[in-house]
Structure 1
């Protein structure tokens, strides 16, 4: 008898497995584990396990990987090349300012600079949480450059040429990007979204557990919008979808098969004239 057959015949087994998984999850046993399906970001926040929450604390501001700017930057993964391509096109189009939304300690700037050699008048600004920003500034001080700066205000992106959101939007409320762009009088001409989980049919929020390099566990709401809704919302703001690509990474929420995401998405939008 298979485990699936046993679970169907004796529902109590499934309930027991579910309780056991939830106990292990809340105890911080899983790195990048997921738990629950919630209707909103706020509902997931109210259900977070006790302990560290989100990314705005020292445990998440770990820059040991990047102790030196030259030796600590990882090689360019193949899945980043579409971003590299569209950044090059934006530069050729005259773009000179970029907001890196949720850009952590600024490592993407150094990674892409190795390939694109950003011009002297280019300005890459990282927006992130206060603890992360302080860590990024400390790292950047090792090799200062006027091309890289940090901000605690996402609205500094108003009027910039490019907005890059790489692996960050899932840690923000479902409509965060759309709401910020809608509030800006001058929207970025180029919009690059990378490593974004999008569901084929519906939107949902789950909770992710993250184990830091120091062994501490943090729990974060993790939002996944419906693909069509996400794209249509940006089109309504004046953008056109020019290109899309996939990253071979899946997402599964235990005991919620309807939440399966096959691959993470990359998208390039351009503001219509």
Structure 2
């Protein structure tokens, strides 16, 4: 018997979309819902779910994987190492914004010399508390510090944002403006972009629903230019894409990384 599977899948899309809009299915990685801004996405989180990252329940979500070097980390490590080497014996202040419990420090320190790097993580209070406790337990508290107030972080030579921008609750230029000083270098990774208008959705992460921003590509590049940074390098993470289950007509996002230098 011959049948057209693609036609059947196409016919089932409206039903799948309707079910996804109800947030009835527990899922990881998939996105549901389409909202105009962060606050609207937060308001749409089901009452029975944990709302956002600012909760102790989200600390352990994906922790083991994040503490390992993944293939999309290598462009970041390449540019970090070049920056460290260019400074010779001088110390480098690095601010890891959205760095969880110091997962990138833990992953990268196995393959890179971080002996002359002051690595500071800016995070939400539950992550800061857990990260500081883990660092003290593992005896690395002198190398890895934490702060939950971005204005009180030390002046950074390098700002690293790996996986932060999708979950940031304010425009990126505003975030940078709250730093004690503009860093010389900004390295971004896993930035979700699309050709259409910026939209927000909800992502399932363990017990939590997280507002997830997919930025308009052109508008985001203009933001970087307005900030006064040149794009030295950019890379696409080919297989790291997301489609909104409830709105398949919006297509898939693309995931990009950027090496930026202050003009």
What TM-score, normalized to structure 2? 0.86
Look up the match of 1:250: 241
Look up the match of 2:217: 227
After superposition, residues 36-115 of structure 1 pair within 5 angstroms as 36-50=33-47, 51-62=49-60, 74-94=67-87, 96-115=92-111
Contact residue 198 and residue 261 of structure 1 kept, 8 A: no
Q: How has the CA–CA distance of structure 1 residues 65 and 201 changed in structure 2, closer, same or farther, with 3 Å as cutoff? A: closer
Look up the match of 1:69: none
- Counterpart CA distance in 1 for 2:41 and 2:229 is 30
Unaligned runs of 5+ residues in structure 2 are none
Three-state SS of the structure 1 residue aligned to 2:219 is helix
Look up the match of 1:261: 252
Contact residue 147 and residue 153 of structure 2 kept, 8 A: no
After superposition, residues 1-273 of structure 1 pair within 5 angstroms as 16-23=15-22, 26-27=23-24, 29-50=26-47, 51-62=49-60, 74-94=67-87, 96-120=92-116, 122-145=117-140, 146-157=142-153, 159-173=155-169, 175=171, 177-184=172-179, 186-211=181-206, 217-247=207-237, 248-272=239-263
Contact residue 182 and residue 237 of structure 1 kept, 8 A: no
CA deviation profile, 1:72-125 (whole Å, cap 9, x unmatched): 9854222211101110122123261011111001021121122221124x2111
Three-state SS of the structure 1 residue aligned to 2:251 is strand
Q: Considering only aligned residues, what root-mean-square deviation do their CA atoms show, in Å? A: 2.7
Q: How has the CA–CA distance of structure 1 residues 157 and 86 changed in structure 2, closer, same or farther, with 3 Å as cutoff? A: farther
Unaligned runs of 5+ residues in structure 1 are 67-71, 212-216
Contact residue 41 and residue 201 of structure 2 kept, 8 A: yes
Contact residue 150 and residue 179 of structure 2 kept, 8 A: no
Moved over 6 A (4+): 6-9
What TM-score, normalized to structure 1? 0.83
Three-state SS of the structure 2 residue aligned to 1:245 is strand
Tell me by how many angstroms 1:220 deviates: 1.2
